[in-house]
Structures are given as structure tokens and as C-alpha cells.
Amino acid sequence: MFSAFLIKYAEIGVKGKNKYLFEEALVQQIKYALKRCEGEFKVTRTDGRIYVHALSEFDYDETVDNLKTVFGISGICPVIHVEDEGYEKLAQKLVEYVDKVYEDKNITFKVHARRARKNYPMNSMELNMELGGAVLDAFPEMKVDVHHPDVMLHVEIREKIYIYSIEIPGPGGMPVGSNGKAMLLLSGGIDSPVAGYMIAKRGVKIDAVYFHAPPYTSDRAKQKVIDLAKLVSRYAGPVYLHIINFTDIQLYIYEKCPHEELTIIMRRYMMKIAERIARENECLGLITGESIGQVASQTVQSLAVTNEVCTLPVFRPLIGFDKMEIVDVSEKIGTYETSILPYEDCCTIFVAKHPVTKPNLNIIKRHEQNLEEKIEELMQKALDTDELVIARW
Ligand code: ATP
Ligand code: MG
């Protein structure tokens, strides 16, 4: 029965020139989400309102589900269109609408009419009164409540007339593309896909980098990360995933540095390489799934030592989250099932029994001097292995 959706978005931070960029990015992301839906649609922007018009038959549930993945949308309102054929016809259509949408008529309501076209013969006050009366006549069980109605019947008079009353919550946030781009360090775990999701939710476009260590890590582990990037792209738009062969660096560190420091030193080189790729791709920050205290390499001391190699800001949206809270988000966004598949990740192969939990930066730097001879060359070689996969939902 519905023929369009009115898209509501939060106005906060959407002022002046930003408003245009925000709406433009929102329309782009809506189109991206609609591409995967059955049916043809047109997205329009008029007087600060975004509408999705169905141009053909479409699957209502599928369309709503996909619109729910678009950051920046605060509400999705299914709309019916009515031709302007005079007041009587409008009242009749409104009554039919109420009858279809609200099976149980034991509800309170209010009519909220808006005349975007001032040449309509009745003003909004008159429309509210008259249409309210028509609904009451048709369904005497319904009651008017002007302060806290169960149902707000919106009637918008434009070229056509729009009726809507349902608002399905959107994901909130800001449209991807309205806030620059950052590089996500994406592993096969639970945390980093969630971290990417959360930063994308603030409007940041996401590129990603994954370090693998063949033959110590398998093709299945790599495919799992590609799959996770795809799942993130459902919300974040296409993700350019750089896959970097990290084996030689890992082996070199293993050979030259104390084993309890392997993970932390490895993390520092991952950050360094990620930062180089970030700069080449106009990313303004790095994103990780780190959370204070989760593992030895994420104590406050370890985070400080890892962070020391970075000059770009590092966004760690999960920093204060407990594991359970992270799991909740990953289940909600649909990455959990893939994340818990058991394929080994490059960090777990060489892990020491007792990794340092309070690394000292000076000592770490001293041990990194053991790497001086070959590390620059190995980093360059690793960068040359860059395999780009564009992950799309
Ligand atoms: P995750 O669940 O995201 O794998 P984790 O709990 O396993 O995190 P670590 O392995 O210490 O934690 O990694 C911390 C962060 O470092 C990850 O969230 C991710 O951002 C990044 N990271 C770790 N391993 C890799 C990798 N192989 N490739 C890219 N990034 C990685
Ligand atoms: Mg991990």
C-alpha cells in the first residue's frame, strides 16, 4: 500500500554549507542501500526533506531493512500518496489509511496537517479540525489527544498529498562520506569490525588493512577477513581492503627480539605500515578494535608503546567497552558469526607464553635496534605485496 518513504535525519551539526554536504552524502548512501533491493526507486530532496519514491513494485520489509543500514537516518516513515481531488476525497483516503494501518482502533490520535502549497483552499488548522472529525465519525472508538497521541496522522499538502504516521527508527549517526576517511586495521576477530562500524557511524568513510602471514595463516583466514569487510560495507559502503604479507617482518622480529616482546613490537610495525598506506590513500586517521586491558598488548602501557609510532590520530572506539558489550554490537550488526570462525590469525601463531604487559618504551626501542639492518627494506617489500580487494555488500 505504501508508495514512498519520508527519510528523517537529525539536524544537529547540519548547518550552513555542511547541511548540503550532509544531505548529498545521505542521498548517495540511500541509493547504495537501495541498489540491493528488489524494485526501482527514485530519491528526491525537496525543501529539506528526503523522499524515497517507489517506481515499481517493491518488497516493503527488504526495503526498510536496507534503509536501516544507512547512517544519518533517524527515522523511516512509510508514506502513501493521494492525488489532490478535493477535500472529500482526501478525508475518505485518510479514513481508509487509518483503517488499514491500525487494526485495533482503541487508540488516541491527532491530525497534523501541513500546507507546503499555500494555494490549497483550507489552511492547516481547518484541515486538522475537519480531518480529525472525519476520523472520529468513521471510528467512534478512537479518541483525540492533542498532547500525547498514540498516533500522529501527518497530512502534507504538496503537488500530491502525503499521508504518514509510522516512524521506524533508523540507525542514527551521520552519513558515510560526510566526515573524511580513516584506515581500519581489520583482523579476523570480534573487535575490529565493530570498531569500523562505529567510526563509519560518525560519517567516516572506511578503508581497511589486513596483515596476513602465509603459510602460517591460511587462505581461509584471509577469506574470513574479506567476508568481514563485506559485512562492514553493508553499513560503511564499499571498503577498499589492503592485504599485506607480514610474514617476513614477523619472522625477522621473532629472530632478533625477545619473544615476550614479539607481539608489542609487531603491533608497532603494523601501525607504521598501516599509517603509510593511510597517507597514500588520503586517510586522516587509523582505527583499531583495542580496548583497555583486554589482552597483554592492550594494557595502558602497551597501548602507549604502540601509539608512539603513530603520527596520525588513532581512533579506538571500543576503548572503554567490556567484551560483552562489544559482542552485543557484533551480534546486532551481523559480524559475530563470522568473527568466531576458528581460523588462526597472524598474531596468535608466534605468541609467547608470557608476553610483557607493562612494556617500557626505552627497552622496546633498544631491542628494535636489532632490526635496523633489514627492517626498512622488509617494510617496503611488505608494502609491495599490497593486494587490493574491494569489499561490497
Ligand atoms: P580483534 O578482535 O579485532 O582481532 P583482538 O582482541 O584480537 O582484536 P589484538 O589481536 O590485540 O586484539 O589486536 C588489536 C587490534 O589490532 C585489532 O582490533 C585490530 O584493529 C588490529 N589488528 C590485530 N591483528 C591484525 C591483523 N592481522 N591485521 C590488521 N589489524 C590487526
Ligand atoms: Mg585479533
Among 183, 184, 185, 222, which residue has the most ligand 1 atoms within 8 Å of its CB, making it the best to mutate? 185
User: Ligand 2 centre and the CA of 254: distance in Å?
Assistant: 18
End-to-end CA distance of the chain: 28
Q: What is the pLDDT of residues 347-384, one digit of tens each?
A: 566 778 889 999 999 999 999 999 999 999 999 999 99
294 lines ligand 1 (CB under 6 A): yes
From the CB of residue 323, how many other CB atoms can be counted at a distance below 10 Å?
A: 12
State how far the Cα of 237 lies from the Cα of 202, in Å rounded to an integer: 13
Phi, psi of 167 (to 5 degrees): -125, 115
Average pLDDT over residues 295-301: 91
- What's the mean pLDDT when you consider all of the chain? 94
Q: What is the pLDDT of residues 184-230, one digit of tens each?
A: 999 999 999 999 999 999 999 999 999 999 999 999 999 999 999 99
User: Ligand 2 centre and the CA of 49: distance in Å?
Assistant: 42
Q: How confident is the model at residue 32 (pLDDT cuts 50, 70, 90)?
A: very high
Higher pLDDT, 46 or 134: 134
Closest ligand by atom to 267 CA: 1
Interhelix angle 262-280/375-384, nearest 10 degrees? 50
Of 17-26, 137-146, 185-194, the range with the lowest mean pLDDT is 17-26
Average pLDDT over residues 233-257: 97
166 lines ligand 1 (CB under 6 A): no
Segments in the chain forming alpha helices (H) = 16-34, 60-67, 87-101, 124-138, 191-200, 219-236, 247-256, 262-280, 300-307, 323-333, 336-339, 346-349, 361-368, 375-384
Quote the pLDDT of residue 342.
86
Quote the pLDDT of residue 348.
64
Closest ligand by atom to 314 CA: 1
State how far the Cα of 59 lies from the Cα of 37, in Å rounded to an integer: 8
User: Ligand 1 centre and the CA of 256: distance in Å?
Assistant: 23
Quote the pLDDT of residue 374.
98
**Locus of grid cell 492525488:** 83
State how far the Cα of 138 lies from the Cα of 143, in Å rounded to an integer: 12
DSSP for 187-217 reads -SSSHHHHHHHHHHTBT-EEEEEEEE-TTTS
Q: What is the pLDDT of residues 71-127, one digit of tens each?
A: 999 999 999 999 999 999 999 999 999 999 999 999 999 999 999 888 899 999 999
Dihedral over Cα of 371, 376, 378, 379: its sign: positive
State the closest ligand 1 atom to the C-alpha of 209, by its place in the atom list counted from 1: 29
Q: What is the pLDDT of residues 316-326, one digit of tens each?
A: 999 999 999 99
User: Closest Cα to residue 25, out of 389, 33, 300?
Assistant: 33
State how far the Cα of 254 lies from the Cα of 113, in Å rounded to an integer: 71
Q: How confident is the model at residue 14 (pLDDT cuts 50, 70, 90)?
A: low
Q: Output b/e per residue, 62-71; b: 16+ Cβ within 10 A.
A: ebbebbebbb
Q: How many helices (H) and strands (E) does the chain have?
A: 14, 15
Residues in the chain: 393
Residue type, 393: W
Dihedral over Cα of 99, 100, 105, 110: its sign: negative
Q: How confident is the model at residue 295 (pLDDT cuts 50, 70, 90)?
A: confident
Segments in 120-183 forming alpha helices (H) = 124-138
Residue 346 has pLDDT above 60, yes or no: no
- pTM for the model stands at 0.92
State the closest ligand 1 atom to the C-alpha of 190, by its place in the atom list counted from 1: 2
Q: What proportion of the chain, given as a percentage, has pLDDT over 90?
A: 89
Residue type, 279: R
**What are the residues facing 42 on neighbouring strands?**
53
DSSP 13: T
Quote the pLDDT of residue 145.
97
Closest ligand by atom to 303 CA: 1
State how far the Cα of 79 lies from the Cα of 54, in Å rounded to an integer: 10
Residue 345 has pLDDT above 70, yes or no: no
Q: What is the pLDDT of residues 45-55, one digit of tens each?
A: 987 789 999 99
Residue owning the nearest CA to atom 16 of ligand 1: 288
Quote the pLDDT of residue 124.
95
190 lines ligand 1 (CB under 6 A): yes
Quote the pLDDT of residue 168.
98
Average pLDDT over residues 247-270: 96
317 lines ligand 1 (CB under 6 A): no
193 lines ligand 1 (CB under 6 A): no
CA gyration radius, the chain: 27
Quote the pLDDT of residue 20.
85
Residue 298 has pLDDT above 60, yes or no: yes
Q: How confident is the model at residue 256 (pLDDT cuts 50, 70, 90)?
A: very high
Domains annotated for the chain, with CATH where assigned, are 4-169 (3.30.2130.30), 181-391 (3.40.50.620)
176 lines ligand 1 (CB under 6 A): no
Coil, helix or strand for 137? Answer: helix
